[in-house]
Amino acid sequence: MPSSPLRVVFVCPAGQTPPNWAEVAPQLGWQLIPLSPTALADCTAPEQETAAVVYCEGAACGEPNGSRPACQRTGYHCPPVAEVRALVGDRPLIVVAEQSDPLAVTHALLHGATLTLPARLATNDLRRILEEAQASPWLSPPFRLLVGVQGKDPLPEIVGRSEPMQRVKTLIRRWAELDRPGAIPLPVLLYGETGTGKGHIARTLHQLGGHRDGPFVTVSCRARGAEELEGELFGQPAEGIAPHPSRPTGGAIGRARGGVLFLDEILALSPATQAKLVRLLEERAHQRMSTSHDPAMDFRLIAATNEDLPRAIATGRFRADLFHRVECLTLQLPPLRARGDDILLLARHLLHKIAEEHATPPLALSAGAVHALRHYPWPGNVRELSNALLRAAMRTPTHILRATDLGLARPTLEGGVEPTPTPLLSPFSRPQPIQITTNRRVAIDFTAVDQIDIEGLRRDLIRQALEISRGNQTEAARRLGLSRNALRYAVKKYGIAGNP
């Protein structure tokens, strides 16, 4: 049980919490906050500490005495689940759905629900299901967000809750605290594949450290020739190269005074430039031992590379003495494919950012898009994800981002096993076939889930229920959760023959 209750918003047009939910929430360590749908956006903004959202959809918000739902009595129309998911972001979304429609659960899951529950559950059943959901490895976004054992995010400025990123955040926070005003700061070396966010991590270290009031100067070591790069760093252009008109005296090192110097792709430095940098760092180290202090040396060095520097030392491409000067604090950034469900957190964060920058409504991810994001290997990491989402957002004409909008290539056998159709999961603790049959599964290829024939699926379910019930409409209606009259109407509507 968490030390303080987890904030869970209960969205219902009636603006009140049903008795069964009000009784179960404290037992799970939740603080349940009733809310109307019109106020949902304010409580689910990224800066809010809302852990999850329970959404009472449509006719499901009827009173226990059988009266009409509050939304119908007031003339209010509940927003669709997809719109609620767009507001909720990466948080778990529990949809309390009307069970008279046999596809209500399927529809909610396809449009972003983490879990769907019937409206009128006994208190003990509700508690049992929610406890099983919290321990389930099948639900996504993972319900472990609600268990309350993950503790406070050590660095909310960086998106990600996976174990590798939590370790990264803890080290960044600790190293930022070591950068105190007046002390010569320790260099930081960032390892990571292209697109893993080394520049973002460097900026975060700058913003959190003792040099936050100084400039952040970036030098891309691979973008210039050897002589030009040396001039850029030290402010001494080589013969034949005109100085840049906007370059202050002292080069990038001089401009970084009191701030941070970020050397991206440090392995691209020429041997001569590496030697000059070693002498500079040695001189600064000597100042640390003496009483003299040159203000020009007051900057924090952060270097980054996507290559193996010890191997580069062995092949003569990088100086061992420079390596030992810059590797004081070393951080390995994990690739996106190793970060689990962080891919969904990042995707929704980036979609929210895209909507703000382009003044467009926020986009939600369809189930097909979620599957595509999870199963693509992302060789370009976060940078590739950002570009893919921006292209997709500019391409889609709706507020739902589909797998086809992303345009991601399916993994080949050379790069991994190609995804196969995934069985539809029940909202309980393990994957099961739809419960109207014991010998059939309804399989859905989530890479094409946006093109599912919902009416055809509904017709097939009704036909299967009638076959299992041997034409007994009363029994088939019970299996489907329908009234007998509703089943008769559906049989007539879909032209299902051969049944009494």
Would you call 343 exposed, middle or buried from its count of C-beta atoms within 10 A (0-12, 13-18, 19+)?
A: buried
Q: Which of 388, 387, 405 is nearest to 396 (CA)?
A: 405
What residues in the chain have per-residue pLDDT under 70?
1-4, 14-15, 41-49, 58-78, 90, 98-102, 135-154, 156, 181-184, 236-250, 285-296, 410-454, 497-500
Q: What is the pLDDT of residues 257-313, one digit of tens each?
A: 889 999 999 999 999 999 999 998 888 765 554 455 555 578 899 999 999 999 999
Question: 163-333 and 425-493: same fold?
Answer: no
CATH 1.10.10.2160 fits 341-406, yes or no: no
Residue boundaries of the structural domains of the chain: 6-146, 163-333, 341-406, 425-493
Q: pTM of the entire structure?
A: 0.57
Return all residues near 246 (Cβ < 8 A) that are at least 6 apart.
Answer: none
Res 66: pLDDT: 42
The pLDDT, as a whole number, for residue 19 is 86
Which fold does the domain 425-493 belong to in CATH? Arc Repressor Mutant, subunit A (1.10.10)
Structural contact between residues 10 and 126, judged by C-beta atoms closer than 8 angstroms: no
Contact 146, 52 (CB under 8 A): yes
- Say which amino acid occupies 471: G
Domain 6-146: CATH superfamily is Response regulator (3.40.50.2300)
Chain segment 354-371, per-residue pLDDT in tens: 888 888 777 878 878 888
Residue 273: its pLDDT value, please? 92
pLDDT of residue 140: 53
Architecture of domain 163-333: 3-Layer(aba) Sandwich (3.40)
